[in-house]
C-alpha cells in the first residue's frame, strides 16, 4: 500500500491506499490505532479499491485545532471530507472498534453515500446511563483542564515504545504479538531530539463529554439502510457482551452477525479467516 495525503477542512489526513480497481472501500481503525491496523488484511482485499485512513489526531494525520473535541459525531465530517477528497460520492465502509462505531454514525447520517457497511468488533457506539450525564460532563471537563501542558514521554528507540504500548493495555483483550504491535507503533511515532514520542493527540485519551443512551443507539442502528455485516470475536468484549451485540444487530434493517474465535484485533491476527467473511460481502 502506498502513502497518500488528503487535504480537508479539518487539516491534512494521511492514508494508505492499495492499487485495487474494484468497489471503493474506506477503512477506519480503532482508538489509538492507525491505518497500519489494516496492513495484514490488505493482501486479501486486493480486488477492492482500499483506502485505510488515519483518523484525525491518529497516525500521521493532523491534530484537530485547539478547543476541538474528538467526538464520534465530529468524526463524521472527517470521513465525508476524506471521501470527497478521494472523489468518492458513494463508497463502502470497513470499520474496526471505534472506526466501526464511527462508520455506523456515517451510514445512519448519510445513507445515500454508503453502499455497504462491514464492522469488526463494533456495532453502534458506547453508551451511558441517563443518570450519569452530569457526572460524565464533570469528569470529562476536569480531565480536559488537567491535560493542558502535559509532557509527552520520550522513548529512546522504537523497541521501547513497542513494549510500552503492549504494557499500557491499549489493545485490550487482543493479545497482539510484538510484530503486529510494531506495525501500529511505527506509524504512531514521530521523531524528536533524544528519540520518539507518540504522534497521536493526547486529547484522544480524554473521556467523552456526552454519550448516547441505549435507546438512541437502537434508533441510530435502525436508520442504517445499507446491507451491514458485523463480525465479532469470541469471547466478547466486557463492554459489549453477546446478548447486547445480538440485540444491536437485530436493530439493523439489513444486518447479519458472524462470530469467530479470536481477540479484539482479529483482523490483524487472523486476516485470512477474517477476509473469508468480509471480502465477498464488500465485493458484492
Sign of the CA dihedral 20, 26, 28, 34?
A: positive
Residue 198 parent element (H or E): strand 195-198
- pLDDT for residue 174: 57
| Number of domains, the chain | 1
- pLDDT for residue 47: 93
- pLDDT for residue 171: 46
Beta carbons of 26 and 92 less than 8 angstroms apart: yes
Is 28 in a helix, a strand, or coil?
Answer: strand
What is the distance between the alpha carbons of residues 97 and 264, in angstroms, rounded to a whole number? 8
- pLDDT for residue 172: 47
CATH number for 270: 3.40.50.1820
- pLDDT for residue 167: 86
Sign of the CA dihedral 239, 242, 247, 253?
A: positive
Exposure of 261 in the CB half-sphere (CA atoms within 13 A): 0
Buried b (16+ CB within 10 A) or exposed e, 93-120: bbbbbbbbbbbbbbbbbeeebbbbbbbb
List, in sequence order, the alpha helices (H) in the chain: 72-86, 98-109, 133-147, 158-167, 178-187, 214-222, 242-251, 266-269, 271-283
- pLDDT for residue 168: 78
- pLDDT for residue 173: 47
Domain that holds residue 35: 2-283
Active site (catalytic) residues: 97
Place of cell 491534512: 12
Place of cell 469528569: 139
pLDDT along the chain (284 residues), means of 10: 96 96 97 97 97 98 92 95 98 98 98 98 96 96 89 96 84 73 97 97 95 97 98 95 97 98 95 97 94
Amino acid at each position: 500500500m502506498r502513502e497518500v495525503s488528503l487535504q480537508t477542512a479539518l487539516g491534512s489526513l494521511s492514508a494508505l491506499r492499495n492499487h485495487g480497481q474494484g468497489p471503493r472501500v474506506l477503512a477506519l481503525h480503532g482508538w489509538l490505532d492507525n491505518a497500519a491496523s489494516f496492513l495484514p488484511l490488505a493482501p486479501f482485499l486486493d480486488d477492492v479499491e482500499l483506502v485505510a485512513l488515519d483518523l484525525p489526531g491518529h497516525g500521521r494525520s493532523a491534530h484537530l485545532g485547539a478547543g476541538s473535541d474528538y467526538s464520534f459525531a465530529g468524526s463524521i465530517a472527517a470521513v465525508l471530507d476524506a471521501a470527497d477528497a478521494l472523489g468518492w460520492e458513494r463508497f463502502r465502509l470497513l470499520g474496526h472498534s471505534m472506526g466501526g462505531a464511527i462508520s455506523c454514525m456515517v451510514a445512519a447520517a448519510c445513507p445515500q453515500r454508503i453502499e455497504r457497511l462491514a464492522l469488526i468488533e463494533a456495532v453502534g457506539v458506547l453508551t451511558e446511563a441517563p443518570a450519569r450525564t452530569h457526572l460524565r460532563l464533570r469528569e470529562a471537563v476536569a480531565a480536559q483542564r488537567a491535560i493542558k501542558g502535559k509532557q509527552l514521554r520520550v522513548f529512546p528507540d522504537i523497541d521501547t515504545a513497542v513494549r510500552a504500548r503492549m504494557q499500557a493495555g491499549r489493545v485490550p483483550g487482543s493479545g497482539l504479538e510484538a510484530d503486529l504491535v510494531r506495525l501500529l507503533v511505527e506509524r504512531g511515532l514521530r521523531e524528536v531530539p533524544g528519540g520518539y514520542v507518540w504522534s497521536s493527540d493526547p486529547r484522544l485519551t480524554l473521556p467523552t463529554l456526552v454519550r448516547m443512551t441505549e435507546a438512541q443507539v437502537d434508533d441510530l442502528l435502525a436508520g442504517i439502510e445499507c446491507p451491514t455485516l458485523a463480525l465479532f470475536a469470541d469471547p466478547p468484549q466486557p463492554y459489549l457482551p453477546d446478548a447486547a451485540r445480538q440485540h444491536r444487530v437485530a436493530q439493523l434493517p439489513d444486518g447479519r452477525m458472524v462470530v469467530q474465535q479470536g481477540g479484539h484485533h482479529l483482523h490483524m491476527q487472523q486476516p485470512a479467516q477474517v477476509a473469508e467473511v468480509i471480502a465477498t460481502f464488500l465485493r458484492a
